[in-house]
A and B are shown apart, each in its own frame.
Chain A
Amino acid sequence: MPQNISLSINGRDQTVSVEPDSMLLYALRDNLGLHGPRFGCGLGECGACTVVMDGNAIRSCITPVSSVGSGKITTLEGLGTINKPHPLQKAFIEEQAAQCGYCINGMIMAAKALLDQTPHPSRDDIKEALDGNLCRCGTHMRIVRAIERAATQRG
């Protein structure tokens, strides 16, 4: 049965009433109205649902809410807004690195975890960090360029 579970989301403590073994993705999207993380496969195969937990990119579609505990979650909304975008989001806009954009949440969140750990990645580092994230529109070249741009602009 649903229980009240406390989560740390984008720097705020939030309580959701969900079944403990349900997946974090649905709590974020349906209970908290955070639409950055997206349902792609429900199998942890595509990366559209990626969020950052304690500095690591994780798949929220296969992460039970009960397993989150005190983990600090950052979603795409936690980075920036249209009016005040995060440097990564700004770089994606500048490179026009999206087509349908459905996968882009995962690309940016995977890149966020990468740049926090490796501020100046090589192109191969970027490709490796994003290799588990699928894009169907074929925007890969621009996504790589956007991450390179963001890394450069961080100085």
Chain B
Amino acid sequence: MNQNHSRVADTQISRRGFLQASSGLVVAFSLFGPTQIAVAAPTVGSTVAPPPAGKLYAWLAVHPDNTATLFTGKVETGNGIETALAQIAAEELDFPIDRLDVVMGTTSETVDQGPSYGSMAVRYAGPQIRHAAAAGRHVLLDLAAKHFGVSTNRLVVVDGTIAVLGSADRSITYGKLVDGKRLNVEIGATGERFAMKVAPEVRTKDPSAYTVIGKSVKRKDIPGKVTGEFTYVQDVKVDGMLHGRVVRPYGVEATLESVDETGLKDIPGFVQVVRRENFLGVVAETEWGAIQAAEKLGSTLSPSGPSDGQAKWSKWDGLPPMDQIWETLRQTAGSNRSVASTGSVDIALASHAGGQVLKATYKTPFQMHGSIGPSCAIADVKGDHATFWSGTQMPHETRRDMATILGIPLDNVELRWFEASGGYGRNGLDHVVADAAVMSQELGRPVRVQWMRWDEHGWEPKGPPIVQDLLGILDKDGNAVAWRHHMWVPTITDTHLIAPALIGKPDITGITGTGATPVIRYGYAFDNADVAVHDEGRVALLTAWLRSPAQFETTFAMESFIDEMAAAAGQDPLAFRLAHVEDPRAVAVLKAAAERYGWVNRPAGGKKPKGGGKSAQGRGIAWVNRDDVRVATIADVTVDLASGQIKVGRVVVAHDCGLVVNPDGLRNQVEGNVVQSLSRTLYEEVTFDRSHVTSRDWEGYPILRFSDIPDSIDVVLVNNTPQYPSYGAGEPATNPTSAVISNAVFDAIGVRLRQTPFRPDRVKAAMG
């Protein structure tokens, strides 16, 4: 057991220790008056339900050695939120951050603060934790006041020690004050999840006094991660644990016709096949045994057909042809939703005499999350009790889903959270929990299920393909007078799980949903505008939110097409944008990026390079408003004229997410967003035939490598002041990238790339 694991386990034990120790005890202090005296819960040991959000102990534990633990329902996905949330708590508590541990996600230990997605952890959980910690500080001051027999205004707190002003010898640590007791104090909480208000009446610190927020505190998780001492969910071992592997249908909706178990018993450690309707899995004592058994049944990188393995599947070829996916989208019935409607584009079209009408269609493919570590979970289902070990981004939701799937009381279900490989939205991590649940229920023993690479590539829910039509009108003087942007977007909120569908209960949990997130922020202020989303359900493959869901794609279209209009008007692309943007924070990031870059006003080149040069250079700009965050990105590209290869040089990002909690953590996020979105722009496309996904490994689905990284990424922070709250930064810097590269390529070689990915062969084809 490594250090991280034992740390988590010890915390759980000590927390339970508190429960035992404080059972029947009354810790009689209160925040808002003398009458609220809380009594310890009488149900010690009999429930694994989450703690009540209105209790201080749901958020904070102070230990006798003057260390402390912050509990949060949010989880780390590599974004650094463990450290950022700890900074927020340490700030309010006046407590040293290196003595503050964080327990994340485990459902019996934490409050449901909503899933960790959508750049919403710091934004929504941050204030909840800030208030809980501030309430904690007030409670500790009250305790100290009683201890010293003075009023709280004579007390001062430094690094978790409270002292009486002017009496150097009268001081006590938080740890000694609390003396091993559970902080059983009512601090109040209303609402749920993202909308929850914790200790709403408590006074928090004036941001001008911040000393921890705004500092580039080193991340808590990195030392363990670079030494192998960290425990990922893939590393968890449970006593008596067996190893499971899934055997998925050959065709997405094929039915299982027969399973020939010949030879399976000869595999050392083989235990049994788990078959339930179309769900098929194998269980063995060892990973290697499970892998070999699954292979015999047909789990391989490139199965040749539905009868390739010893499991025989029906022939199913219900997917639309890949090269017609965008036509399929247009033909799919959906509901129309207007994003913006101003004036009349139709009237402008009829009266634009002497001007120009531009039209373009932008296409983006299915893309995948592509986590480096495939999904993994352990389930231990025994009768009407179940425990899960999972790295899901939504532990409390997954707990509820598992109770539903298994048909057992919610209060008997616990999910112990451990970090997984980065998720970037909703990958297979929730799905594999259900796989493990089905197998463990069958075996009556703990089963660890890890997907093979082809399970992950083949079956993780994808980011959907999107097709967009744009129309713009310039008057005879080159002024933009009208803008139409229509987009066809399959659901990005399909929360159905795979295993329930395979066992014949497809709708027991999950909804199909629509593109009901901010798919696009219409960013301009034209006299005539018509922006609309055609929301659709599932089209072809199962989809889910993928980093900056759909807005990555719609920003590509919006910000490339505005560039097309600027070029047609013969204007500088930055100046053209500034002429039509009213939002002051958007103007600020555009100008900040331009200043750092050293932007010189000129129209885009837009011409094929002259002479016999081997390459051509260009620059591109784009911006986005993603959930109140503004980002403007500028990049230089070099296009190799012989191969069509795009190489990115310097990148400048101006980023306004309000008050920054951890500047280096933010830069890490911005760099990651830029590089990952560059990968999605240049390389990534899920391929499929009529039966299933065919890009089932990293050769079929290439991503960016070290040889492709930009020369530099320069991040400028804008509006990093307490005047603005801390908005989320997990996704926004993803959005501008495709447009930036497309615009830069146009500047370099006069070719408009309107379909991602911009692989060399596509660039060459566009060059003609």
How many chain A residues touch B (CB < 8 A): the figure is: 61
CB distance from A115 to the nearest CB of B (A): 15
Given the known interface contacts A136-B370, A137-B672, the answer about A35 and B223 at a Cβ–Cβ threshold of 8 Å is no
A85 partner residues in chain B, CB cutoff 8 A:
223, 226-227
**When the two chains form their complex, are residues A43 and B453 in contact, meaning their CB atoms are under 8 A apart?**
yes
Given the known interface contacts A30-B287, A100-B422, the answer about A46 and B372 at a Cβ–Cβ threshold of 8 Å is yes
A18 interfacial contact with B, CB 8 Å: yes
A30 partner residues in chain B, CB cutoff 8 A:
286-287
A72 partner residues in chain B, CB cutoff 8 A:
none
B3 interfacial contact with A, CB 8 Å: yes
Bound-state Cα–Cα, A101 to B313, Å: 38
Q: A38: nearest residue on chain B (CB-CB)?
A: B373
Given the known interface contacts A45-B699, A136-B676, A138-B671, the answer about A96 and B78 at a Cβ–Cβ threshold of 8 Å is no
A-B contact number at CB 8 A? 187
**When the two chains form their complex, are residues B3 and A82 in contact, meaning their CB atoms are under 8 A apart?**
yes
A128 partner residues in chain B, CB cutoff 8 A:
706-707
B697 partner residues in chain A, CB cutoff 8 A:
41, 43, 45
A18 partner residues in chain B, CB cutoff 8 A:
288
**When the two chains form their complex, are residues A82 and B224 in contact, meaning their CB atoms are under 8 A apart?**
yes
B219 interfacial contact with A, CB 8 Å: yes
CB-CB contacts below 8 Å: B472-502 with A? none
Which of B234, B286, B664, B671 meets A141, CB within 8 Å? B671
Bound-state Cα–Cα, A17 to B325, Å: 50
Counting contact residues on chain B (CB < 8 A from A), the size range is 35 or more
A120 interfacial contact with B, CB 8 Å: no
Given the known interface contacts A85-B226, A89-B226, A130-B706, the answer about A99 and B79 at a Cβ–Cβ threshold of 8 Å is yes
Bound-state Cα–Cα, A143 to B707, Å: 13
**When the two chains form their complex, are residues B453 and A105 in contact, meaning their CB atoms are under 8 A apart?**
no
**Using an 8 Å CB-CB cutoff, how does the interface string of A20-32 with B read, 1 for contact, 0 for none?**
0011001001100
B698 interfacial contact with A, CB 8 Å: yes
A134 interfacial contact with B, CB 8 Å: yes
Main secondary structure of the interface of B (DSSP, over half): loop
Bound-state Cα–Cα, A101 to B226, Å: 7
Bound-state Cα–Cα, A142 to B78, Å: 14
B421 partner residues in chain A, CB cutoff 8 A:
100, 102, 136
Given the known interface contacts A39-B234, A127-B709, A137-B422, the answer about A142 and B671 at a Cβ–Cβ threshold of 8 Å is yes
CB-CB contacts below 8 Å: B263-312 with A? 268, 286-288, 291, 301
Bound-state Cα–Cα, A48 to B679, Å: 19
CB distance from A128 to the nearest CB of B (A): 7
**When the two chains form their complex, are residues A139 and B235 in contact, meaning their CB atoms are under 8 A apart?**
no
Bound-state Cα–Cα, A97 to B222, Å: 8
A104 partner residues in chain B, CB cutoff 8 A:
225-226
Q: A99: nearest residue on chain B (CB-CB)?
A: B78
B703 interfacial contact with A, CB 8 Å: yes
**When the two chains form their complex, are residues B664 and A40 in contact, meaning their CB atoms are under 8 A apart?**
no
Chain B contact residues, CB within 8 Å of chain A: 2-3, 77-80, 218-219, 221-232, 234-235, 268, 286-288, 291, 301, 369-374, 419-422, 424, 450, 452-453, 664-665, 668-669, 671-676, 678-679, 697-699, 703-707, 709-710, 712-713
Additional A-B contacts beyond A96-B218, A98-B226, A141-B709 (17; CB < 8 A): A30-B287, A35-B235, A41-B453, A43-B301, A46-B372, A98-B225, A99-B668, A102-B373, A128-B706, A131-B705, A131-B707, A133-B706, A137-B672, A138-B672, A138-B673, A138-B675, A138-B704
